[in-house]
């Protein structure tokens, strides 16, 4: 026993020594890198990569399981605004450089929000410069805010309009010997079409064209404000795909000049009055956030809680990057236990998901309201299906004009793999059962009609419950809800017209409305859910604030599309119950 105790103590001591050695080594690396980065400068330019993933809430993204020195904070869009506000008053910050290195997309509503925050920074008197190798429509809209926009002579701006492209799997599964049993309610609930058809239905095309048209209108309205453009000429160029090369972008006044990166840096020096022989310092906006040690707003003894519901709604999951009744039960408990929280804003950016989990979160919202705390919903890129369900009971719903919302409908899918197993793999099942439904809804057998009737009845029941929740929350007759429901997707503008939302605005507007409902003026903001970092994550974040040891390239647009479709297909294959879900994203 004595030897065992000595062995345990020696092991613990060895682990502690190794830990301190690792910390010391990492600290030395950071120190060396920091010394190497010290140059003779006359100020700093903050940089913002427009192709990065930008969540609503900082670090509210799925965590990678690996220990890596290339991890960086995922700076949320609203903390990004706080950084810009701080930088606008920082004399050492000469300006902001927007960089676009490839074509990506953070979503239409987030793009509009970031455009607003960039304008605030510009209005403070600080300069914004934009430089792109390549830029899509979203990136260019943010770049258009800048005082001057530059493009690499061999770069391009991809301005071809808005679209939605959907893969269809019907023939694939037929070749594999898998048939999908699909159950749904709602003529516009097109989520199941990829498994039943080889092309979009007329109704799916109708609703898609309508909100894409709204998106394009909003886009060009914003572009006209940001930059002097000839709108009819630019629309014509878009239709003819006439903007393909850098010189085309210059011809249509989308950029001010074509420069290589080194020439752009020289332009920055000249604009900021920095001597040509001196180096220029550029600091990533995330590193500025970390190094500044910025904390949540503490102003005022009263608080407005902002609860971010971002991601797909999944049953019994935990951790950042998704929504579940598990994590949000904890968040609502924290909110209910705080006497200083006088109002709640539920910020939704979700295409929906699990029906059961959606109901549980809806119920918690109702309990907060019953406690006398006003709840305002605020919509980001998406607040569709389950995303709308969890927030439809809010006292007021505030939507951005280019939010995708609605999709009030239900579907369930169940695979029949009997042909695959029997005819292609030679696998057969035999069963002994004590009642007719003992092995019902098994992928190993074809569904009998009575089994199909049971599932369809369940889906219809859930749709009726969805209509009830919306009817009660919106104060609309159930028949009127059904008229605008049926799985149909709407833009925020159309949702305002048909009564699904109350106000067109952003998160700022929602917070102001919530504060007014709570009758408070001097208040602070408290954000939920709380994203907890372990010791090593915090350590790595601090190290990376000083040194970029490994440069990680983000996914290209094609790679991102493939990954998104793979995730959607994987999610569909895991369905075990009906879904309130809009399983596609708009590019």
Predicted local distance difference test score (pLDDT) of residue 42: 55
Average pLDDT over residues 228-245: 95
Strand locations in 124-255 (E): 127-135, 148-157, 179-185
Arithmetic mean of pLDDT, 226-248 = 95
Percentage of residues of the chain with pLDDT beyond 70: 80
pLDDT at 262: 96
Instruction: Report the alpha-carbon distance of residue 523 to residue 304 in Å, rounded.
Output: 7
Q: Is the pLDDT reported for residue 151 higher than 90?
A: yes
Q: Judge contact between 138 and 162, C-beta under 8 A.
A: no
Strands 302-310 and 489-491: unpaired
* Reported confidence tier of residue 533, pLDDT bands at 50, 70, 90: low
pLDDT at 386: 95
Candidate from 9-18, 191-200, 388-397 with smallest mean pLDDT: 9-18
β-bridge pairing 503-504 and 396-399: parallel
Which pair of structure tokens corresponds to residue 198? Answer: 């080889």
Show the DSSP H helices in 273-376 as ranges: 285-292, 325-337, 355-370
Cα–Cα separations (whole angstroms), residue 508 to 525, 539, 542? 11, 33, 30
Among 2, 230, 214, smallest CA distance to 108 is for 214
Taking only the tens place, the pLDDT of each residue in 335-367 is 999 999 999 999 999 999 999 999 999 999 999
List, in order, residues 6 or more apart from 227 with CB less than 8 Å away: 144, 149, 253, 254
pLDDT band at 273 (very low <50, low <70, confident <90, very high): confident
Rounded to 5°, angle at Cα 338 from 337 and 339: 110
Convert the pLDDT of each residue in 462-517 to its tens digit.
999 999 999 999 999 999 999 999 999 999 999 999 999 999 999 999 999 999 99
pLDDT at residue 561 greater than cutoff 50: yes
Q: What is the mean pLDDT of residues 372-396?
A: 97
User: In the prediction, which pLDDT does 296 show?
Assistant: 53
Q: What pLDDT score does 320 carry?
A: 81
pLDDT at 547: 41
Residues 6+ apart with CB under 8 A from 481: 408, 467, 470, 471, 474
The predicted pLDDT at position 41 comes to 43
pLDDT bucket at 327, cuts 50 / 70 / 90: confident
Phi then psi dihedrals of residue 504, to 5 deg: -95, 120
Q: Which of 407-416, 487-496, 567-576 has the weakest average pLDDT?
A: 567-576
Query: Which residue in 295, 494, 472 sits closest to 395, CA to CA?
Result: 472
Domain ranges of the chain: 1-38
Q: Is 489 helix (H, G, I), strand (E, B) or coil?
A: strand
Please report the sign of the dihedral spanned by the C-alpha atoms of residue 367, residue 372, residue 378, residue 384: positive
* Residue-wise burial string across 537-563, b where 16 or more C-beta atoms lie within 10 A, e elsewhere: eebbbebbbbbeeeeeeeeebeebbee
Instruction: Return the exposure string of 62-97: e unless at least 16 CB atoms fall within 10 Å of the residue's CB, then b.
Output: eeeeeeeeebbbbbbbbbbbbbbeebbeeeebbbbb
Highest mean pLDDT among 266-280, 554-568, 570-584: 266-280
pLDDT in tens, 64-111: 544 444 445 789 999 999 999 999 999 999 999 999 988 777 899 999
What integer pLDDT is reported at residue 495 of this predicted model?
Answer: 97
32-43 pLDDT tens trace: 444 444 433 457
pLDDT grade, residue 564 (50/70/90)?
A: low
């Amino acid at each position: 026993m004595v030897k065992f105790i000595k062995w345990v103590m020696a092991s613990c001591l060895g682990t502690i020594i190794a830990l301190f050695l690792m910390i010391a080594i990492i600290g030395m690396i950071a120190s060396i890198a920091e010394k190497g980065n010290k140059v003779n400068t006359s100020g700093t330019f903050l940089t913002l990569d427009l192709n990065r993933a930008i969540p609503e809430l900082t670090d509210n993204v799925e965590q990678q399981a690996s220990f890596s020195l290339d991890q960086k904070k995922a700076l949320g869009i609203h903390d990004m605004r706080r950084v810009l506000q701080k930088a606008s008053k920082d004399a050492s910050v000469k300006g902001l450089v927007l960089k676009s290195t490839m074509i990506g997309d953070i979503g239409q509503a987030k793009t509009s929000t970031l455009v607003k925050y960039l304008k605030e920074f510009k209005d403070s008197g600080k300069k914004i410069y934009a430089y792109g190798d390549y830029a899509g429509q979203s990136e260019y809209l943010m770049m258009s805010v800048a005082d001057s926009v530059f493009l690499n002579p061999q770069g391009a701006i991809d301005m071809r309009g808005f679209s939605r492209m959907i893969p269809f799997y019907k023939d694939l599964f037929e070749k594999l010997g898998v048939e999908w049993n699909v159950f749904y309610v709602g003529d516009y609930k097109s989520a199941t079409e990829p498994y039943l058809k080889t092309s979009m239905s007329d109704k799916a095309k109708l609703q898609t064209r309508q909100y894409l048209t709204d998106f394009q209108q909003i886009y060009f309205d914003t572009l006209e404000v940001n930059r002097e453009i000839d709108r009819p000429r630019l629309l014509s160029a878009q239709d003819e795909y006439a903007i393909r090369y850098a010189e085309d972008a210059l011809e249509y006044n989308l950029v001010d000049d074509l420069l290589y990166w080194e020439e752009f840096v020289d332009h920055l020096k000249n604009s900021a009055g920095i001597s040509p022989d001196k180096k220029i310092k550029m600091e990533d906006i995330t590193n500025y956030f970390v190094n500044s040690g910025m904390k949540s707003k503490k102003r005022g003894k009263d608080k407005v809680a902002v609860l971010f519901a971002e991601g797909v709604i999944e049953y019994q999951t935990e951790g950042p990057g998704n929504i579940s009744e598990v994590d949000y039960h904890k968040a609502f408990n924290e909110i209910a236990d705080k006497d200083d929280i006088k109002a709640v804003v539920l910020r939704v950016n979700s295409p929906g998901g699990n029906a059961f989990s959606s109901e549980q979160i809806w119920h918690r919202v109702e309990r907060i309201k019953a406690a006398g705390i006003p709840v305002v919903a605020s919509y980001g890129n998406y607040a569709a299906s389950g995303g709308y369900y969890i927030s439809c009971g809010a006292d007021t719903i505030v939507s951005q004009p280019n939010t995708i919302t609605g999709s009030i409908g239900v579907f369930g899918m169940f695979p029949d793999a009997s042909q695959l197993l029997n005819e292609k793999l030679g696998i057969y099942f035999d069963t002994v059962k004590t009642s007719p439904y003992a092995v019902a809804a098994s992928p190993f057998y074809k569904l009998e009609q009575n089994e199909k009737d049971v599932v369809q009845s369940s889906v219809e029941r859930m749709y009726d419950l969805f209509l009830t929740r919306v009817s009660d929350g919106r104060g609309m007759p159930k028949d009127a809800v059904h008229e605008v429901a049926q799985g149909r997707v709407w833009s925020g503008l159309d949702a305002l017209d048909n009564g699904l939302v109350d106000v067109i605005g952003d998160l700022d507007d929602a917070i102001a409305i919530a504060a007014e409902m709570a009758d408070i003026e001097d208040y602070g903001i408290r954000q939920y859910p709380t994203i907890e970092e372990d010791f090593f994550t915090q350590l790595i974040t601090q190290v990376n604030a000083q040194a970029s040891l490994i440069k990680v390239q983000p996914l290209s647009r094609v790679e991102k599309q493939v990954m998104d479709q793979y995730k959607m297909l994987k999610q569909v294959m895991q369905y075990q119950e009906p879904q309130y879900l809009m399983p596609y994203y708009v590019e």
